[in-house]
Amino acid sequence: MERPKPWPRTGFLHFRDIQTRWMDNDIYGHVNNAVHYSYFDTAVNRYLIETGALDLQNGSVIGLVVETACSYFKELAFPDRISAGLRVTRIGRTSVRFEVALFREDDEFAAAQGHFVHVYVDRATRRPVDLPEALKNSLADLKQQRNYF
Amino acid sequence: MERPKPWPRTGFLHFRDIQTRWMDNDIYGHVNNAVHYSYFDTAVNRYLIETGALDLQNGSVIGLVVETACSYFKELAFPDRISAGLRVTRIGRTSVRFEVALFREDDEFAAAQGHFVHVYVDRATRRPVDLPEALKNSLADLKQQRNYF
Amino acid sequence: MERPKPWPRTGFLHFRDIQTRWMDNDIYGHVNNAVHYSYFDTAVNRYLIETGALDLQNGSVIGLVVETACSYFKELAFPDRISAGLRVTRIGRTSVRFEVALFREDDEFAAAQGHFVHVYVDRATRRPVDLPEALKNSLADLKQQRNYF
Amino acid sequence: MERPKPWPRTGFLHFRDIQTRWMDNDIYGHVNNAVHYSYFDTAVNRYLIETGALDLQNGSVIGLVVETACSYFKELAFPDRISAGLRVTRIGRTSVRFEVALFREDDEFAAAQGHFVHVYVDRATRRPVDLPEALKNSLADLKQQRNYF
């Protein structure tokens, strides 16, 4: 099994804080693997809403998730404070690839990291549509990355 | 149906911020009624951990929930920022009654409010035990209330 | 603290099975108190959909929860099989009171029980509306109860 | 974006039913992408418990998830009935790779599919351990596959 290396905090320019919850801990006393994906969703959608790219209640274009993946390096647990680093690695005509890293407290390297691919569709017909302008602008900032190599 | 009145923010001395998540919204576009209880749990347990009254991984005494209730006055929705007001209205020999109010953004009155009753038990035997000293000290602060009438 | 007595299975005519999930167990190895409410929601809405009283995607009338409560008598834990007993104790002009009991495996008495109150509103305006006919018919069956005293 | 093809039901010998819940639906009216992973967990752990390979409360060996991934082909929504197909594609000295496909109602092809990798560790020290015998026997059955090519 070839495993990816944990991404460093320096690989990200944009962050959103994530608050852990009592219920995130499962019987093993750590955040259950499925919960990491709800952190991804929350961090990215919060960014999109704050930058005016997503209108939850009224927007006519929505992002459907078609692919997700996550690697887990270190256990997280309530009441840890988590910082989610966000970046975009590909912007297609109708789809976008986001990468998210979850940093525990002040850790330098990710406790978990992953990606997901959004395909943007019309809310009613669920047919793919070209990325709206406001979204493209918001994503352009996420695609800017530190030259950290 | 006789409904309680929303509690005012001035009825509380202790608060914890609660972050909403994408998944909290159900098909009706608002926070699902069950999720409010996970906010209660998170706010109260965060307080207990921060004040040294609860040790999740090693503590030998745990609080079992025997009763919960909530009244809903106003819809909450991701990405709302919520402030949870906490207080204790009864400290028994083995049990405690917590009240929690959820304030949306800077609202003066609760969007939802409720209570839950913890009975403290031995983690292994699950038999009720007298409240530990550290817990009693932590709860005493929550029982102090503004004289707001 | 005066506690209610566990309701018997014989107090219910309508049941829906509930499947527990890995994630329902919290760090204490039992179903977290908030999860019981998601069982209530699931059992009642499944009943309403199956009896034609609720159309999730297209219905113009939705039930908003304005009050919930639960008493916990016995721990539940994944992978327990749960049976939810359903009944209605009050049908108002715009609101309904449901009672739900959760029976573990073949237990005769409830491990947990509670109620919630739905106010029915127009999906768009969120203003209360009279209960639709299809809903009233579906609820009438839930109001039929065994004469178990 | 090269996407995998949906796996057929005929590729699996072992299935577990999954019940959707009201709360699984997000604001877009479908099962949120993170919830699929809780279906994976539930189906696989149910299988492991039923075949005597996992003892949640007392077992000294636990499976930590180190990698997960999922592809989404078709929306799922409460109250859909889902069937999870399970198989194992690699059994290492301390780790196992599970594949899970989620079939909606009587569909022939998966609505979503993915995999996760468990590393088995000592519950107390969290150090990797050789797979216990009972687990290996249980997994051997999951590795048997229909010769469906």
Which mean pLDDT values do the consecutive 10-residue runs of chain A (149 residues) have? Answer: 88 97 96 98 96 88 96 97 97 96 98 97 93 93 71
CB-CB under 8 Å, B64 with C27:
no
Please tell me which of the candidates D22, D29, D32 has its beta carbon nearest to residue B23. D32
Which chain A residue lies closest to B21 (C-alpha atoms)? A42
**Residue D134 reports pLDDT greater than 70:** yes
Please tell me which of the candidates C34, C41, C71 has its beta carbon nearest to residue B41. C34
Q: Which amino acid is at B74?
A: K
Which chain D residue lies closest to C55 (C-alpha atoms)? D79
- Closest to C88 in 3D by CA, of C135, C126, C130, C55: C135
Query: Does B27 contact D at CB distance below 8 Å?
Result: yes
CB-CB under 8 Å, D57 with C78:
no
Q: What is the pLDDT of residues B66-78, one digit of tens each?
A: 999 999 999 999 9
Query: pLDDT value at position C56?
Result: 84
Rounded-to-integer distance, Cα C118 and Cα C61, Å: 12
Query: pLDDT value at position B59?
Result: 86
Find tokens 């993946």 and name the residue.
A69
CB-CB under 8 Å, C25 with A22:
no
Which option is the CATH number for D9-143: 3.10.129.10, 2.40.50.140, 3.30.70.20, 2.40.40.20?
A: 3.10.129.10
CB-CB under 8 Å, A26 with C27:
yes
Torsion of CA A55, A61, A62, A63, to 10 degrees: -120
DSSP E strands: which ranges in chain B? 14-19, 61-72, 81-91, 95-104, 112-122
CB-CB under 8 Å, C66 with B70:
no
Cβ–Cβ pairs < 8 A, chains A and B: 51
CB-CB under 8 Å, D32 with B22:
yes
Cβ–Cβ pairs < 8 A, chains A and C: 22
Tokens of A33: 């693997």
Query: Does B17 contact A at CB distance below 8 Å?
Result: yes
Query: Does D26 contact B at CB distance below 8 Å?
Result: yes
Rounded-to-integer distance, Cα D98 and Cα D75, Å: 22
Find tokens 């990405």 and name the residue.
B79
Query: pLDDT value at position A149?
Result: 44
For the entire predicted model, the pTM comes to 0.95
Q: What is the pLDDT of residues D26-52, one digit of tens each?
A: 999 999 999 999 999 999 999 999 999
Please tell me which of the candidates B21, B25, B45 has its beta carbon nearest to residue A22. B45
Which chain A residue lies closest to C78 (C-alpha atoms)? A27
Q: How confident is the model at residue D149 (pLDDT cuts 50, 70, 90)?
A: very low
Cis status of the peptide bond prior to C128, with omega within 30 of 0? no
Please tell me which of the candidates C65, C71, C116 has its beta carbon nearest to residue B67. C71
Residue spans of the domains in chain C: they are 9-143
**Residue D90 reports pLDDT greater than 70:** yes
CB-CB under 8 Å, A49 with B25:
no
Chain C CB contacts of D77 under 8 Å are: 56-57
Query: Does D25 contact B at CB distance below 8 Å?
Result: yes
Q: Cβ distance A4 to A73 under 8 Å? A: no
CB-CB under 8 Å, A71 with D95:
no
CA distance D35 to chain B (A): 9
Which chain C residue lies closest to A29 (C-alpha atoms)? C27
- Closest to A136 in 3D by CA, of A74, A14, A54: A54
Q: What is the pLDDT of residues C29-78, one digit of tens each?
A: 999 999 999 999 999 999 999 999 998 888 889 999 999 999 999 999 99
**Residue D105 reports pLDDT greater than 90:** yes
CB-CB under 8 Å, A29 with B21:
no
CB-CB under 8 Å, B66 with C72:
yes
Which chain D residue lies closest to B32 (C-alpha atoms)? D23
CB-CB under 8 Å, A41 with B22:
yes
CA distance B146 to chain D (A): 37
Which pairs with CB-CB distance under 8 Å and at least 24 residues apart come from A88-94?
A88/A139, A88/A142, A88/A143, A89/A115, A89/A143, A91/A131, A91/A136, A91/A139, A91/A140, A91/A143, A92/D1, A93/A130, A93/A131, A94/A119, A94/A120, A94/A121, A94/A128, A94/A129, A94/A130, A94/A131
